Structure 1
C-alpha cells in the first residue's frame, strides 16, 4: 500500500508509508485539517469544524506551524492557518475488536512557542512500534490563542478550545486509522502538560479522552495562568506602539483584527518583553478563567478551587517532573539565575501575594529551605536551580497531583532523574550541568532529529522502559501491569496516606517522602495565597 487512502468525515486523504528507526512499517497522514482556518473574521474566535473537500487530499506533507516569534532569528514565523493534525498508525481500518489505543500528543512551548506537526522534532517512531495510534496537532499560540476580552468574539482560551476541537475530530474519525475512540490518552510536556490538566478541568473536554499524562506541567504553575484583567491590560498596550489610543474593547478588537499576522505577533511580544513580572517564568498571553457569558466557557473556576473540590474529569492520571527542572534557567533565564545566585533574595522570585507582615519570615523560611538543605549536586548555583525547579514546575505539579489523587484514583507520580544521551532540552541547548533538565524525559518518548549521535546501552534501556510504561498506561491505565525483566519494579499509585512515586534513573525505584521541606512550603503557599500575575 504505497499510497494509503483513508476517508474521514470531510473527504478522502492520501497518506504515505514510513519506517521507524528499527525498520517497522507505519502509515502517516500529515496536515489534516481539524478546524476551519481561524483567519479574517474568525481571528480570536472559537474554532469551527473544517469544511469538506472534493477528490483526494494530499496528506503527505508538513503543514504550517502556528504564528509565533522565532527566538533564534527574532522574526515572526508560521501562519494563522495552522489548525492541522498528524495521524501515525501501525495499521489501518482494524476490526472493532482489535482497534488500537490512541495517544494524543500536546506540544509545549509556554503557550507562545512550539508546534506539534513537524515529525523531525516530534517523531512517533518509539510509540507506534508498541501498537498505538499517535496523533499530534497544532493549536493557536500567544495573543492569537489567548486574548481574553470577555466577549463571544474573543472569549479567551482559544488555543485550549482548539485542543478540544482536535479531540472531537479524533472521536469522529480515528476508527478509520485503526484507532479506538473509546481509549484515548492525552499527554504532553510543559505547556502540553498544563494543557492536559486544563482539559481535565474543562466541561467542554469531558468524554473526549479516557486517560491523561501531564509531564512537567500543571494548571497551578505561575506561567500557565493569567487573569483576564491582566491579559486585557497587555492587549491595550499594543495600539500604543503605533501611537494609537483606543478607548473601548470594540475599538481594541477592531485594531487587533486589522493588523497583519506578523505585526500582531511582533507587537504582542514587544509588549511582553517590556512587562515587569513578579516571580519566575511568565508568558502573558496564556490560559485564564473566563467570565460566564453568552458562550460556552472553557473554564470558569480557578484551577486550585476546582481541583480541591474534585470538579474535574475522573480518569487514570499520570504526572511527574524532572529532578532539575530549574536547569532551564541556564539557557532561558540566566539573568534571574545569576541575580538569585548573587543576592540570595528568594522573595523577589516568588510569584505569590505574600502579606507585608509575613514577608520577612517568608524570606527566612526560603533561605533555610534552599541554602541549608543538603545538595545532590556540587554546582555553586545548585540552591537556585532547586528553587526555580520548585517555583516554575515541581511545586504546582506536586500540589495538583496530590489534589487529583484525593478526589480520583489511580494517580501515578514520577521523578525523572536520568542524565543520558536522549535528554532532550539539555542536548538542544547544550546545558553543561549534571542532572535531568525540564522536558528531558521527552527525548526518551518522542524521537527527535534535534538529538543526534550515538546513545549508550543504558540510554536504550531507559528509552524502552519509558516507552513501555507510557504505552502500557495508554492500553491498560496501569504503567506496570506486570513486572518483567524490562520493568522490574511495580509502579504503585499515590495512596491516601502518602505520595508514593517512581524514581526513574538508570534503575526504577519506588520511593516516598519526596523533598518533604520543599513540598510543605509549596503546599502551604498554594493553600494560603493567590498568584500575583
Structure 2
C-alpha cells in the first residue's frame, strides 16, 4: 500500500471509530434511552436526562415509588426544577412534578462496567436550586460530562423539594418536615438499586454536594435509613452543624407561613396548609429582601432540616456513629463568608467607602444574639486582637469576611471532621480549604475563593468552555477532579486512575492537616491547625456560654 493510501485509510478509521454506548437501559420503571455525546477519540459520555426516581410527591408527604411507564422513555431533556421562588424573589417557577435525576456515563472502546458512582446534591439555602441549574454558556453548571470523562466515574445529579414544600415543619407528627431530605434519600436508594444497569458499582457510591447540598450530604451520612446505600461522602462548604443548616423553632415559622396564606394557627392549620395553592405557599416562603440590613442575612434563611426523630433521629452531634464506615472528605472555601458579609456590611466591597469598626461589633452582636452582649464583646475582642490602634481598611474588611467564614462554614466543618474521625471504624477523613482567587472582577483585589466558586472547577467548566478561562483555571480544575474521583474510587484522594500534584494526608482525631487547593498545589500546600485560635473559640469557649 502506498504512503498516501495508508494515510487515507488511517484517516477513514479515525473518522468512523467511535466509543461504545449503552443504548436503551432497563430500569425498575421501564426502559430509558439517553444520548451519546462524543468527548474525544474513542471517548464519549452517555447522557440520560429526566429519569423519574419517585412519583409526583403528595403535598407535605414522603416520596413514593414511581409507577413506571410503557415503551422506552426518551431521557434527553432536563425536567422542570421543583417549585420555588425565583432568585430575585419576584415570582415562582418550577413544578411539583420534579423528582427526576440525570446520569452521565463515560464510555471507551467497550461498554463501561463496575464504575464508581458520584451522586451530586445541589445547594441553594434549602430555598432554591435545581439539578440542571444556571446554564453557563449553553451548559448546566452541573453538567457531569467532563467529570465523568476525566475521572472515569458515573456522575448522577438529583432533584429534591425546597422552600415551603420541602422543609415546612411543625416539629411534631402532624407536619414532621424534611421532605426535601426524604427526596434525596429516595434518589440515593434508586441509584443503589438501578445503577448497575448503567455500568455502575452499587457498592461504591459517593455523595457530594455544595452549600445546602453539602449539609444535606452530611445529614444523609448521619441517617440510619441510608445504611449500606453509599460508601463515601464529600461536603463542599456546609455541614449539619452550620448555623443555617438546622431549623430549631420550626413551628414558629410554620405559623408565620400559615398567617401569610390565610390559614388558622390552631389544630386546623396543617389541614388548611395542605389545601392551599402550592404557588401561594411557595411565595409565602420567600426571603423578605426589604428586611436586609436589619441584622445578619443568616437570620433571613429560615428553611432548613429539623430533628424529626425519624430520618434525623437526634441532634447531629449524636449521630456520627452512623457514619463510622463512610469515608468523608470535607472542606470550605477560604472566603466562603464573603457572599454573606457583602450583604451584611456592603462597604467591604467599596474601595472608597470605609468600614467602621462599630459595624464589625454590630455584626458580631447579630450573629451571637442568642448568647447576649457578653458574647458579642468577647467575640469582638477575639477578632480585633491584632488590629492595633489604627487598623487599615483592608484588615478591617478582611476581618468581616473571616468572621462570617469562620462562623457559618469553616468552624462547623472542622467540628464535623473531628466528629467523623473520632467515631470512625476504619473510614478515612480528609480536610481541605479551596483558596483559588475569585474570577469576579469587581470584587476587592484581596479576594480569594467566595461561596460557590469551587463548583465550576469540580464540574470541569474550564475544559468544557475553554475560551472563558485561563490555563491556571484548567490546572486547578484538573487537580480537583483527580482528587475527588480518586476518593470516590478508593476512599483515598491520592490513589486511583488520576495523578495528583501532591500527597494529601488524612485528618485524624489528634492531627488535623488540611490541603490548600489552588492551581499551584505542592508539598507546602498541606497546612496544620488552620485558624486554631478561632476554631477553639467558637467550638469551646463560645459554645460553653449560656444561652439567654
> TM class by shorter-chain length?
0.7 to 0.9
Distance (whole Å) between structure 1 residues aligned to residue 434 and residue 142 of structure 2: 20
For 1:43-54, list aligned pairs within 5 A.
Answer: 43-54=59-70
For residue 145 of structure 1, report the CA deviation from its aligned partner: 0.9
Distance (whole Å) between structure 1 residues aligned to residue 271 and residue 347 of structure 2: 37
Contact 1:280-1:391 within 8 A present in 2 as well:
no
Corresponding position: 1:398 with 2:414: yes
Is the partner of 1:398 in helix, strand or coil?
helix
- Given candidates 279, 282, 288, the residue that maps to 1:265 is 282
Is the partner of 1:17 in helix, strand or coil?
strand
For residue 419 of structure 1, report the CA deviation from its aligned partner: 1.8
For residue 299 of structure 1, report the CA deviation from its aligned partner: 0.8
Distance (whole Å) between structure 2 residues aligned to residue 374 and residue 490 of structure 1: 42
Corresponding position: 1:69 with 2:85: yes
1:15 matched residue in structure 2: 34
Distance (whole Å) between structure 2 residues aligned to residue 199 and residue 459 of structure 1: 31
Distance (whole Å) between structure 2 residues aligned to residue 211 and residue 377 of structure 1: 43
Deviations 1:241-272 (A, max 9, x none): 35x461424x2122222222221111122679
- Given candidates 51, 57, 62, the residue that maps to 2:73 is 57
For residue 311 of structure 1, report the CA deviation from its aligned partner: 4.6
| Cα distance change on mapping 1:447 and 1:358 into 2, 3 Å | closer
For residue 120 of structure 1, report the CA deviation from its aligned partner: 1.6
Distance (whole Å) between structure 2 residues aligned to residue 351 and residue 448 of structure 1: 38
Distance (whole Å) between structure 1 residues aligned to residue 311 and residue 300 of structure 2: 22
For 1:103-502, list aligned pairs within 5 A.
Answer: 103-118=118-133, 120-129=140-149, 130-152=151-173, 154-227=175-248, 230-242=249-261, 244=262, 246-249=264-267, 251-269=268-286, 280=298, 282-290=300-308, 292=309, 297-307=310-320, 310-329=321-340, 332-334=343-345, 342-345=358-361, 346-351=363-368, 353-354=370-371, 360-368=377-385, 371=387, 378=394, 380-408=396-424, 409-419=427-437, 426=440, 431-433=443-445, 434-447=447-460, 453-481=467-495, 487-502=500-515
Contact 2:48-2:75 within 8 A present in 1 as well:
yes
Contact 1:234-1:272 within 8 A present in 2 as well:
no
1:31 matched residue in structure 2: 50
Contact 1:44-1:153 within 8 A present in 2 as well:
no
Deviations 1:451-470 (A, max 9, x none): 87432222211111110010
For residue 154 of structure 1, report the CA deviation from its aligned partner: 2.6
Contact 1:499-1:513 within 8 A present in 2 as well:
yes
Unpaired segments ≥5 residues, structure 1 = none
Distance (whole Å) between structure 1 residues aligned to residue 273 and residue 356 of structure 2: 38
Which one is further off, 276-285 or 208-217? 276-285
| Cα distance change on mapping 1:439 and 1:280 into 2, 3 Å | same
> Greater relative contact order: 1 or 2 (C-alpha under 8 angstroms, separation 6 or more)?
1
Q: If you compute each CA radius of gyration, which structure gives the higher value, 1 or 2? A: 2
| Cα distance change on mapping 1:34 and 1:23 into 2, 3 Å | same
2:12 matched residue in structure 1: none
For residue 142 of structure 1, report the CA deviation from its aligned partner: 1.0
Unpaired segments ≥5 residues, structure 2 = 1-19, 134-138, 350-354
Aligned positions, number: 509
Distance (whole Å) between structure 2 residues aligned to residue 417 and residue 116 of structure 1: 25
Cα RMSD for the two superposed structures: 3.3
Distance (whole Å) between structure 2 residues aligned to residue 482 and residue 258 of structure 1: 52
For residue 432 of structure 1, report the CA deviation from its aligned partner: 4.5
| Cα distance change on mapping 1:487 and 1:312 into 2, 3 Å | closer
Is the partner of 1:381 in helix, strand or coil?
helix
